[in-house]
Structures are given as structure tokens and as C-alpha cells.
Structure 1
Amino acid sequence: MAVPDPTSNGALPGVVAVGASAGGVEALTSFAAGLPEDLPYAVLVVLHMPPNAPSVLARILDRAGPLPAVSAVDGTPLEAGRIYVAVPNRHLMVRDHSILLSKGPTENMNRPAVNALFRSVAVTFGPRAIGVVLSGMLDDGVLGSGAIRARGGVTVAQSPSDALFTAMPHNAIQAGVIQHQASAADIGRLLTKLTDRDIEEREMEPDTRMELENRIAMGSRFSAHFDSDDLGPPSGYTCPDCNGSLTTLEEGSFRCRVGHAWTAEALLEARDHEVENALWIAVRSLQEKAKLSRRLADNAGAGMVGRRYLDAAEEAEHAMEVLAKRLSEAPAGTGEHGDS
């Protein structure tokens, strides 16, 4: 299926979708400062952020460079030369060349998510979509960059040496889904060339799974109007968000029955948090057991009963010391949920 040429009827010729997380404010500020004044594409920006925190990113980017930046508003028609910034607790997506803000299922525990935006522009704009992955942790944006490339679009990553947090651009580059690299400040010059390139309107078969995932992200928070069997086979894993079963979309990509999406990297990170939380609960329980056992020993006095309670207290205290030592030696997690 060919993506219609939007310029034939005066519509927006294309979009630049930008994703960032940890270290993203600095990267986005440099990116915005380097954009050309006459950029013929609209720019859409997702930065991972806490769901209930106010965001001033649009004001920061509006002051940083030549293009006006605004917080995204649902239903707003996209215009060339403007920056639209995601708002907390909503996926930023596009439909019919307009903004769509969705409370669809989280992806890697994020809403907004970079993959949701990139997948959306891939479906809507095809070869007229450009994806840009900036500083951040984990691997949000890898699958979305792959979707943009699969539909004929172009992908760019901030050079890892230029990023405060290298994981997001590095993972996208390592996955083989990135075509260009540049510093955040130099991406604007690269976009001048990319938006002026000759675009081949190719005949492409519809990607039913990509379109299904796009509909899921556009749906309700707990989507129930899709059949998870259409996504792929059971993975044998459970969703950290809802404890539902996860299906395997492709190697290293999963969704649950209500739509929560996970990459393997993010799923492993969530399991690390679960294990750490379980160990801290065990430490607390052992601490309370030891305290209660000693109180019972004091009440029982000398004798077999008192000795039994003291033995239980000492056993709990030893186990607590072992667990506490293990937790104190564990490396700090790489999680970033809530970073902004």
C-alpha cells in the first residue's frame, strides 16, 4: 500500500518524531537551538516524565530555538515549523495529520512512550516520517525506529559520545535501526538535508501487527477490544504492571492481554525491582520476627521456652544481616521511570 503524497493537496509534507528520557532536557534544548527557521516538517517531542508532574518543557524549547514550541493539545492539526511537546500521562500520537493524545496502555511503564509516537508516525506518514532518538536509559525508541525504517522513513540517533545517558541511542544503533548519527546540536543541519531529499512513494503491504499495536496505544488505559492471540504466542512471562500473561510480539518484545508493552530490557529491569522489593520485605519481616521473639523470651524467662524464643530471634537476626549485606552490595538499578 502506498502512502499518499500529502504535498499534492497542500497538506503537511512530513513529521520529525523525537524521543528522549534521562538527560533529555539538555539534549532537546541543544536540538531545538539547532533547528532551521524554515523547517518544512512538524516536530513532535516525547520526553519520559512522571504522570502527575507539571511539565515546562514546551516553554524551555520555545525559548531555546527559532521554532515555536507548545504543549500538545488533542485534535490540533499539525503545522510545519512548529514543535509539539507531549504532556504527562498521555501518549503523543498522530492521526489524520492531527495530534491524538491517548491514555492507552503504558509501554515500558511509560506514558508518553517514544515507541508509541514513532509507531504512530510510521503508520500515518510512512516515508515522510523521520525518527530521532536522543539521550536516555534503557531502549525505548528502538522498536519505534524499526517501525519508521520498515515503512520507508529515516532514523537518526544522537551520537552516544554526545549524550549524557548513552543507552537509548546506543541500543538503537546496536539494533541496526539507525541510519544517521549526529550531536544534538547538529541534528538540525542534518534535518535540512533529510527533509529536502527525494522521497520514493513505494508500494508496501500493510503491516497488520504494527497497525494493531498502534490501535492499542490509541485505545483506553485498559484496552479489551483486541485479541492478544493476534499479537503472538504466549511468552511464559507475566506483566509487571498487571500480572497478566505476556505474549511474544517478536524477539525481545512483549504485550499483555490489556495492552501493556515491554521490551526485554525493560522487563528485566522490572524484575530487578521486584526482587529488590521482595528482599526488603523479607528484611522487614525478619526484623519484626526477631523483635517479637525477644519480647516473648523476656516474658517466658529462663527455661526451654525462653531459649526457643531466643534461638528464633538469633536465627532471624542472622538471616536479616545476610540479606541486608546482599542488598547493600547490589549495584544501583538503571531504572528511569519518572525521569524528566
Structure 2
Amino acid sequence: MQENRNSMLIVIGASAGGMAALKEFVAQIPKHFPAPIFIVNHMGAHTTGDALVKVLNESGSLTCVQAHDKQAFKNGHIYLAPSDQHMLIVKGKILVTKGARENRSRPAIDPLFRSAAVAYGNRVIGIILTGYLDDGTSGMMAIKRCGGVCIAQDPEEASYPDMSQSVIANVGADYCLPIAEMGALLSDLVRRQLPENEQPPEDIVIEAKIAQRVLSDLPSVEALGEQVPYNCPDCGGVLWKVAEEELLRYRCHTGHAFTSSALLAQQTEKLEETLWVALRMFEERQNLLVTMSKIESKKSASSISLRAKDSQVHIDRIRAMLKATDTDDHGA
């Protein structure tokens, strides 16, 4: 990328409903757009992203490619984070890493946004589109703290408004508008005259380095917050609380990071897995006891039958908890 004080970068985060939103977005961007565009769209680990690349190439006049490690980027191109890897930005190039998941996702939006904020400061324009929960909110805070611009899709038109609403509530969007109006806005913003960048805050620099796997030690995480009596649901390690104004986040020293809502969702998922294991074990125990009662003496069989009935009580309780968890999930 040609370096000058006014070179701009566009970073975009999307999740559920992202393909349709991104298709509408890229259709507005002119062919010789004077900035590169970087996109994280949440996707499963076993997908390729090829379908989205094809759709974006067919929908607009810019070239869209999946990013690869140490790739130099150019204006007028779109770079999509590959499946199951984070996409980060440093001066003039892209890093693709297999770092720890953030907010249950890889690729995640926050690592891209933070890395861009550290590398390019006030020349970064962040955009949050449709999606569940709040990935992108912390990263957008980093962009704002480094002097960049925050744009949120109007929640009223978003297929899934959670991410936009979280950014608006916790960061305060500079612009909140429908996708149809973003192209004209960006064409104006990328031509602004900007002051010199200031040094990025140290906590943002630390988190950006953690995402690169440069830092992953206790002193680094302890510099960001205080230890709390919770464990990381992904690796079992101790968590540290990172307070960002009204947004509560948690990190473990191996690199996993969660907002409070993402942590709760992950804990709920792990709890459900544990309950299913417990249900299987109690049912196996009950089946074994029933089998034993059929071949034991009458005295022993009576005792074994009582133990089998006790197991049924636990089975019924676990099934009730699983039904309650299922109801809660659908209510969310």
C-alpha cells in the first residue's frame, strides 16, 4: 500500500446475515476506490469462504480475495478473512494467524479492528453490520480511542441488530445509517485531510500483540485487568477481567477473550455438554442396575432396584435442566 499521511483503511465486521449485507455494501463502492477494504464475516471452521468471495466479486467492481499471510495490500481491493484464522493488519501488509478464538469466533472482528487501530490510527474507518451478540464492540472502541471513525448499520434495517446496537450503546457511532447510504459517506471520508497520528494506548498495543501470538504471558494479561474467580471455558485457564467503560470483557493468558455476553453463551454451551454427559452416565448406571437386579438374589435385587429408582430421579432432574436450557436458548 502506498504510504502517506492521508491513506485510509476500511475494516468491516459482519456475522449472521452478513452475506446479503456485504453484497449490498460492495455494490456501492466505485472501481478506483482510494483505500483497501478488509472484511471479517463470521464463518464455520469447515467452510472455505469461496462462496462469499464469488458473490462479492460478482456484486461490485472491486476485486475480492481471501487474505493470506504477509500479503501486501492495495487500494481498491477487498480482503476477506479466511476460515478458522484471524486476519490482522500491520504496516503495509496482512497477517493471517491461528491465534486463540475471541468471542467464540475465529476469524473474529475485534482482533482485526484493534490491529488496524494500532497500525493506522486515525486513518481507520470501522463498520459494523448485522450479527448476533457483540463481537466488534471492543475493537471499535480501540478504533475510536486511536482517532478513527465508527460507522454502524442502522439496527432497524439489520437482519440481526445485536452487533450494531452494542456498538451504538457502548461506543457511540459517529454515523448510524442504512447500508444504501454508506458508499457515498465513505467516498467523502476517505478524502479528508487528517492530522498526524498519536501513539496508540498501551493496552490496545498489548492486545494487538497477543493476537499476533507475540505476547501470551501472565504479565501481559495482568497489565490489562484483574484476576477473577472464573475459568476460561475453552482451555480451563484463569480469567482476567478487562473493564472498558461499560463493556466487561475477560481474557485468559493463552489468548482466549470474551465479552461478558459471549462468556455467558460459551458457559451455557459447556454446561449443556456436561449435562448430556451426566445424563448418559446416569442412564448407563440405571441400565446396569436393572440388569443386575434380574440376576441377583431376591434380597440383593431389592436393594439394587432402589438404587435404580434413585438414578431415575437424577435422570429426570437432568432432563428438566436440559429442557430449561433449550427454552432459554430459544428465548435469547
- After TM superposition, the score normalised by the length of structure 2 is 0.91
Please give the residue correspondences for 1:218-237 in structure 2 after superposition, counting only pairs within 5 Å: 218-219=212-213, 223-224=216-217, 227-237=220-230
- From 48, 54, 60, give the equivalent of 2:48: 54
RMSD of equivalent CA atoms:
2.2
Contact 1:104 / 1:223 at 8 angstroms: preserved in 2? no
- From 16, 19, 26, give the equivalent of 1:25: 19
- Between 1:165-174 and 1:204-213, the stretch displaced more is 204-213
Between the aligned partners of 2:171 and 2:252, the Cα distance in structure 1 is 26
- From 293, 297, 301, give the equivalent of 2:293: 297
- Between 1:169-178 and 1:260-269, the stretch displaced more is 169-178
Between the aligned partners of 1:172 and 1:275, the Cα distance in structure 2 is 28
- From 132, 141, 150, give the equivalent of 2:136: 141
Identity among equivalent positions (%) equals 32
Unmatched tracts of structure 1, length 5 or more: 335-340
Deviation at 1:225, TM superposition (A): 8.8
Deviation at 1:266, TM superposition (A): 0.8
1:217 aligns with 2:249: no
SS for the counterpart of 2:147 is coil
Which amino acid in the other structure matches residue 210 of structure 2?
A: I
- After TM superposition, the score normalised by the length of structure 1 is 0.89
Please give the residue correspondences for 1:69-108 in structure 2 after superposition, counting only pairs within 5 Å: 69-108=64-103
Contact 2:152 / 2:164 at 8 angstroms: preserved in 1? yes
Between the aligned partners of 2:234 and 2:40, the Cα distance in structure 1 is 21
Aligned to 2:122: 127
Aligned to 1:265: 261
Consecutive aligned runs of 4 or more in structure 1 exceeding 4 Å deviation: none
Contact 1:91 / 1:111 at 8 angstroms: preserved in 2? yes
| CA shift in 2, pair 1:327/1:52, >3 Å | same
Contact 2:229 / 2:239 at 8 angstroms: preserved in 1? yes
Relative contact order (alpha carbons < 8 A, sep ≥ 6): 1 or 2 greater?
Answer: 1
- Between 1:120-129 and 1:228-237, the stretch displaced more is 228-237
Which amino acid in the other structure matches residue 232 of structure 2?
A: C
Deviation at 1:20, TM superposition (A): 0.9
Unmatched tracts of structure 2, length 5 or more: none
Which amino acid in the other structure matches residue 238 of structure 2?
A: S
SS for the counterpart of 1:36 is coil
